[in-house]
Structure 1
């Protein structure tokens, strides 16, 4: 890439300042300073300095990120109380935002191909290669690298032969495949956000706004090569896109649970959302995905011990035992692990409350509660928990930009073809989208 952009490099601090100015110029409502949109923007921008502090002052950086994560949990938990959500126009039209999205994504591609891929992504690519050749992956397995679930290797399986075919002698095929995975993962998020705005928010401009802010925020640029952390969020975005179809939504949710551990905590919430209207189809499709993922592990296991190592042995049980203390980097490295116990108890209570209340949920409740649970996971997760902003960023943006969503109770006897979505009459009126459950 040096012959295309000689000596191309943008430091993290420089990207933060550029992102700050562009975000304020495009999204900040200067005509209405005291607005919910401006508050959310300030929260999103205020957490980024914590990532910069990690290199020079890790203690301050971890405290900064932990405090910002706590504020996000509170914001997402009380989102349903903000009933009035007047439409806020962006300071740039749709064509301008589309141009910025394409331009920033192009720079991300350059960055992905010029920096070294994450070690976890390289390991996932090697596991995908073992899956295609049906080799045992437990041989010479490096336990110090945190593994992703079987979904990541299935996602990488089609990329491995492609990278092997096009890779030159000077380029490692595994490195090329890891870079392609990172680009595809971010592309899935961007496209999913745009479709979410067009289909469920009845406004393509909102979809472009969510995609643009996702690309603009510094945390996306800092971890642009970490495909394993982007993939679960991408699958969750598409679960929201397909939420009217419980079967498709269950498939995406099952794949997300197989990519990382944290989507598992969302299952009670989503089950309560589909409780009387599609729960069986949601559970059935998710179960089929789980069987397929377990089958992929069988293909790379030579015996029962190997299969056990890939399913149970790869899980860091010390996280659940609240052990590790000083050995785990992050906010909790400076404190005894016992202090995480009340935080985890509060996390469980939060899941219970958001699952039970309100009894009849609409899409707005599902989005904000999903984001709250994912963000709350980072408060007790010891291994650099608050650093993983990409786990919840797409869902957080959907909550920030969503219009007012009204839920209409639907009878099971209503024909699906009679469902309708009420779109805004005018772009200058409040966006009201009548969201219905699938019969």
Structure 2
């Protein structure tokens, strides 16, 4: 950042946690109604910061490389994961109870619409600049490299490794931005060589293209989440102020500042946000959910909820969209795999077709016995299926709170980075916190009937 802003010094995560917490309270806390649900929600969001800071400190590569502080860092990380799990328990309960909260008083932010818009745009600009000037995470570079191997019908050692690390399920989504960045980097490499250039320009260009692709994907995903929140509030809440408030709070959270460039977190969140934005068009929503399932398979748990929402109108079109997206991804794997073994391995990676693993786990499960995941997985499966019948009357509010509930539930049994993949549920949690009364946004009222249903209706009307 100092290359762009004169003598700029970056704010360390701890200082930003203090500052962002104060800003969050100043902007959104209702001082005239201290004991209200909004303030309780803000308290839970602020309480995420200590756990995130502990995890960030414990996963610092510098701390891990120093034997003297590695043990202390491990203890701090364990405390951080346990803290996040505790806060997630309250968030899970809060989202499950949201459907029972009928009264939704309009609580405006403490700052004007113009001020919030300026703050949100400034935060997004600073975070984007941090991504451009920072170094991508190793997992994101691995995903880009896998996409490059996939396009050449080749495999690498990363294929087997990612089956155990649960990276992005379908790396082909990284390929399109990789093409543009690669062509740009290669064009720069055609310049005359100088003494500072490395011995192998091809390797240097490939590494630069991979890093540029990871940065571009992170910026696109985070921008999609922010813009998607704004459009959802404007189009479906009929209140643009609520969208600016939710997006500002998302950008203020320490999680967004620390893990801005983590595409593994942001990409599924961005796709599900687009699905909510297009919820009046079942096919489009189905395609987005299908892509999210293919990206990282945990959104498969959302299917009972979304199908039940569209049950009275649009369920077939939604399922058709999901199936079409998955078939497209599978077809891409077929044409980019050199043999059957490679195809099967990539299908397993994309769809999670494997038994749960109990060794070599990370996150909170690096400190616990992996077998304890089994009852959690069974409970989560029951929770996912229960949304097919509860609540009986589903509206847009149910869709938002149910999606947030299930994505929070994933954090408890996710074998890797469990508890810190907040971008999977934060957009929907924030939209639930700021939403108005949405009881009239049911599928029968907002989803247009299919052409086949309209033609049948016209025929029946003409016969009468």
TM-score by length of 1: 0.88
Closer, same or farther: CA 192–410 of 1 in aligned 2, 3 Å: closer
Of 252-261 and 354-363, more deviation after overlay is shown by 354-363
Distance 2:310 2:41 in 1: 29
Structure 2: where are the runs of 5+ without partners?
A: 59-72, 190-196, 198-204, 451-464
* SS, match of residue 438 in structure 2: strand
Q: 8 Å contact 2:237–2:435 — kept in the other structure?
A: yes
Distance 2:449 2:306 in 1: 21
Report the equivalent of 1:355: 388
Distance 1:315 1:337 in 2: 21
- Answer with 1 or 2: which has the greater Rg: 2
Q: 8 Å contact 2:312–2:444 — kept in the other structure?
A: no
Report the equivalent of 1:289: 325
Report the equivalent of 2:253: 217
Distance 2:393 2:323 in 1: 25
Report the equivalent of 2:99: 80
What displacement does 1:28 show? 1.0
**Does 2:221 align with 1:185?**
yes
- 1:115 is aligned, of 134, 142, 146, to 134
Distance 2:153 2:127 in 1: 34
Report the equivalent of 1:149: 169
What displacement does 1:86 show? 0.2
Higher helix share: 2
**Does 2:310 align with 1:310?**
no
Q: 8 Å contact 1:266–1:370 — kept in the other structure?
A: yes
What displacement does 1:334 show? 2.7
Distance 2:347 2:305 in 1: 25
Report the equivalent of 1:421: none
Q: 8 Å contact 1:371–1:395 — kept in the other structure?
A: yes
TM-score by length of 2: 0.83
* SS, match of residue 157 in structure 1: helix
What displacement does 1:336 show? 2.1
Distance 1:207 1:188 in 2: 13
What displacement does 1:337 show? 2.4
Of 182-191 and 102-111, more deviation after overlay is shown by 102-111
Distance 2:156 2:442 in 1: 54
Number of residue-to-residue matches in the alignment: 410
Of 188-197 and 360-369, more deviation after overlay is shown by 360-369
What displacement does 1:127 show? 3.3
Structure 1: where are the runs of 5+ without partners?
A: 418-439
Q: 8 Å contact 1:127–1:137 — kept in the other structure?
A: no
Closer, same or farther: CA 378–198 of 1 in aligned 2, 3 Å: same
1:37-436 correspondence to structure 2 within 5 Å? 37-54=38-55, 55=58, 56=73, 57-131=76-150, 134-141=151-158, 143-145=160-162, 146=165, 147-150=167-170, 152-154=171-173, 156-167=174-185, 168-169=188-189, 172-312=208-348, 320-324=355-359, 327-407=360-440
What displacement does 1:346 show? 2.0
Report the equivalent of 2:3: 3
Q: Deviations over 1:209-261 (max 9, x none)?
A: 11111111011111111112101111111111111110111111111111111
